[in-house]
Amino acid sequence: MQTDTILGRIDDGLDDSLRRLFDLLRLKSISTDPAFKDECRKAADWMAAQLTEIGVDSSVRPTTGHPMVVGHRKSANPSAPHVLFYGHYDVQPVDPLELWASDPFDPQMVTRDDGSRMIVARGAVDDKGQTMTFVEACRAWITETGDLPISVTVLLEGEEESGSPSLRPFLEANAEELKAEYALVCDTGMWDPDTPAITTMLRGLMGEELEISAAAADLHSGMFGGAAQNPIRVLTRILGGLHDENGRVAVPGFYDGVTELPEEIARQWEALGVTAEKFLAPFGLSKAAGESDRSVIEQIWSRPTCDINGIIGGYTGEGFKTVIAAKARAKVSFRLVGDQDPDRIREAFRAWVTAQVPEDCSVTFHAHGNGRAITLPVDAPAFAKTRSALADEWGRDPVLGGCGGSIPIVGEFRRLLGMDSILVGFGLDDDNMHSPNEKFDLQSFHKGIRSWARIIGSLGGMS
């Protein structure tokens, strides 16, 4: 089998792959800090040179911020599918530096007591290590066969860790060039160190800020306490009623458009045997706080939720001040699933709040963000091929998981380029992404390259 020889080449070339990854990890491409602008440019140059070297014709493309790297390689097979691969070369800041066991930009191979090894550096997993799993898989295919069985466009961003300000304009300006049949995104995680995952559901997000006002100015709670409306009292009363006694969101119509899990996925999740105790233990918690009739996994992946993200009013400093504040403010966000309509929910929330505002008080609202949930088409052929390739590599079916948060790139690809994304990644929960001592298990890196080699073959009809 051709795939077997390619996998053998990957195994034999692992040290070279690591050498290249370490070269990339030494570049201090912190995108949020202008002091590292040149290092970001160096990382973009390095990536473009690396891609061009293996035969993906690449260039560094300017934006108003850090540049994009774009590369193309057409397969010799004219009927080969065309995919866009997305990754990012920028990394998070390293503070607090004193908590790192080694220099974050001097990558180390650390061996654990059990003999397993891990790569420790800023960007080891997020997203330099992950990005290189795909690049190294392409290198193995091209070196071994002189070709890729799929046509590839590569898009590497340099501002993912700083809010992707240039992404949308760049996608809009280069839509024709970047468009493909679907995108492969490598920036997510595995289910556990031995179980791969494809992220197939992303919750949407709708944010609201509300401010309750009462008297024209702050009042003395001795003189007016009792007689004057207190906006904090009004706000806590309203927000205190956001959830019913079963943990369901009380806004009328909120659950319109919420869909139940497909049978197969529900069974798969149940088989994972996740308990709230196990899942929440790392954070000092033990009991799922959401809808009482839903498992913890459903609560974070497939059920809509509401959280109060911030609240402020009155005197909050040291000591005490007997004030009745004139205003109180809160920020509330809703995570959405299925076909929930953010606009209708915003309207319903505002109506629900407004109806509870008593005489002498008023409320103003301010919208923050508005994204629908995304459910990726797990039944599409490319998904089926990706699943089976991952199953072949890891010896078990990948978990078709959800993601409680949003991954903006997936929405942008759908909206601006009209294509869905397949999210495959090899990160682990203990990788310390965004924290000191970020690491990437050597097994994740190695089998990640092998996984992509198999997926590329599978998508190209070569296995």
* Residues in contact with a second copy, shown as a per-residue x/- string from 205 to 224 under the rule CB under 8 A: x-x-x----xxxx-xxxxxx
CB of 277 to a second copy, least distance (A): 11
Under rule CB under 8 A, which residues in 319-348 are in contact with a second copy?
319-325, 328-331, 333, 335
Which residue bears the tokens 């992220």? Answer: 199
CB nearer a second copy, residue 102 or residue 286: 286
311 touches a second copy by CB under 8 A: yes
From candidates 184, 212, 300, 376, binder to a second copy by CB under 8 A: 300
Side-chain-side CA neighbours of 111 within 13 Å: the count stands at 3
Asked whether 371 and 218 are in contact (CB, 8 A), the reply is no
CB of 162 to a second copy, least distance (A): 14
288 touches a second copy by CB under 8 A: yes
Could you give the residue ranges of the DSSP H alpha helices within 201-254? 221-224, 231-239
Q: How many residues bind a second copy (CB under 8 A)?
A: 81
CB of 367 to a second copy, least distance (A): 10
- Residue among 346, 398, 400 nearest 369 (CA): 346
CB of 240 to a second copy, least distance (A): 3
CB of 307 to a second copy, least distance (A): 5
Which of the ranges 118-126, 172-180, 254-262, 282-290 carries the binding residues for a second copy, by CB under 8 A?
282-290
Q: DSSP state, 317?
A: S
Asked whether 419 and 83 are in contact (CB, 8 A), the reply is no
Asked whether 83 and 150 are in contact (CB, 8 A), the reply is yes
CB of 109 to a second copy, least distance (A): 29
Whether a cis peptide bond, with omega within 30° of 0, leads into 78 is no
CB nearer a second copy, residue 136 or residue 438: 438
Which of the ranges 63-71, 259-267, 273-281, 391-399 carries the binding residues for a second copy, by CB under 8 A?
273-281
Under rule CB under 8 A, which residues in 395-414 are in contact with a second copy?
403-406
273 touches a second copy by CB under 8 A: no
CB of 35 to a second copy, least distance (A): 24
Amino acid sitting at position 22: F
Q: How far is CA 121 from CA 237, 300, 315, 445, in A?
A: 48, 30, 44, 14
372 touches a second copy by CB under 8 A: no
CB of 343 to a second copy, least distance (A): 17
For 114, the token pair is: 């059990």
- Residue among 134, 129, 128 nearest 442 (CA): 129
CB nearer a second copy, residue 61 or residue 243: 243
CB nearer a second copy, residue 78 or residue 226: 226
CB nearer a second copy, residue 8 or residue 358: 358
Burial 274-306 (b: 16+ CB within 10 A, else e): eebeebeeeeeeeebebbeebbbbbbbbbbbbb
From candidates 49, 99, 271, 308, binder to a second copy by CB under 8 A: 308
Amino acid sitting at position 135: V
3-state secondary structure of 58: strand
Q: How far is CA 192 from CA 159, 197, 422, in A?
A: 28, 9, 19
Under rule CB under 8 A, which residues in 152-211 are in contact with a second copy?
203, 205, 207, 209
CB of 341 to a second copy, least distance (A): 19
CB nearer a second copy, residue 225 or residue 381: 225
What's the per-residue H, E or C state across 118-142? Answer: EEECCCCCCCHHHHHHHHHHHHHHH
For 170, the token pair is: 């760049």
CB nearer a second copy, residue 19 or residue 220: 220
Please tell me the distance from the alpha carbon of residue 410 to that of residue 38, in angstroms, as a whole number. Answer: 28
CB of 327 to a second copy, least distance (A): 12
Terminal-residue alpha carbon distance, the chain: 8
Under rule CB under 8 A, which residues in 226-255 are in contact with a second copy?
226-230, 232-233, 235-243
3-state secondary structure of 39: helix
